[in-house]
A = this chain, B = another copy of it.
Amino acid sequence: MKVYLLNSGSLVIDRSNVLWNIDPGIPVRFPVYSILIDHPDGLFLFDTGYDYEHVQRVLPFEEPIQQSNETIPEQLKLCGYTPEDIPVLVNSHLHFDHVGGNRFFTKGKTVLHRKELEQGRNPEPFERYGYSDKQWDHADANFETIEGDLEIAKGLHLYETPGHTIGHYSLLVQFENRQPILFSFDAAYTHENLEKEIQSSFHIDPVAGVRSIRRVKQLAQEHNAEIFVSHEMEAFQTYKKAPDCYEG
């Protein structure tokens, strides 16, 4: 099995957005990435980064920086694939920085939490920026909604971690010959969120958010997994990026 991290560039938010109510007024640039898994059952893509044009139009204050090879089609090409090769796209959740390339996937199915699909189509007013990019809801999208924890393929475990959004999933990847990796997605932007048990300031249910942070830590401990956080530049710089991969 091979696990590729696809670089989607970076954005800027406030440190008080990363760590709810902590240190307002300090801008932080953070990475955005997706995950491609070459599995014995086929190719699985988790999330699709952000769409540069959308961010420039709707959230220019997040100062997007995206190189020309940091789109989803270009990142897949680095690994030897095209969007048409991917039968299963999973969205951890539907925030704009996780669905920006969904529109390229017109053949396979898109798997996500039932509640997330409902919420993305009818968000709360305070979620309007988060769910501002609706390009995932295109005519050729073939949604398969799920609920509860699910092993979507052997060793690929989706765990419900709501709070950041109502239908958020984290992903545990169990290899044959390598330490497992637990992708927290936005249940924890950074290791500091994990340590302090403070979630990001973008959330729908802060009580659930704290429980999900604890769940991520508990799962990592149970499975002796390394946690990969979603939006920490310092951690991301140490991760292997496509075309390099984690294999085992």
Contact = CB atoms under 8 A, between A and B. Distances in A.
Chain A, interface SS category: loop
A203 interface: yes
A203 B206 contact: yes
**Copies per assembly:** 2
Interface in A18-65: 20-21, 24-26
A106 interface: no
A88 interface: no
A210 B128 CA distance: 13
Given A24-B24, A25-B24, A207 B16 contact: no
Interface string A191-233: 0000001110111111100100000000000000000000000
A165 interface: no
A24 B14 contact: yes
A13 to B, nearest CB: 9
Contact of A198 (B25, B126, B198): B126
A125 interface: yes
A124 interface: yes
A197 to B, nearest CB: 6
A193 to B, nearest CB: 12
B203 A201 contact: no
A43 B121 CA distance: 50
Given A14-B25, A201-B201, A205-B206, 19 more contacts: A14-B16, A16-B16, A17-B21, A17-B24, A21-B126, A21-B202, A24-B24, A24-B25, A124-B206, A124-B210, A125-B197, A125-B198, A125-B210, A126-B198, A126-B199, A126-B206, A126-B210, A203-B206, A204-B207
15 contacts: A14-B24, A16-B16, A16-B201, A17-B24, A20-B126, A25-B25, A124-B210, A125-B197, A125-B198, A126-B199, A126-B206, A201-B201, A205-B205, A205-B206, A205-B207
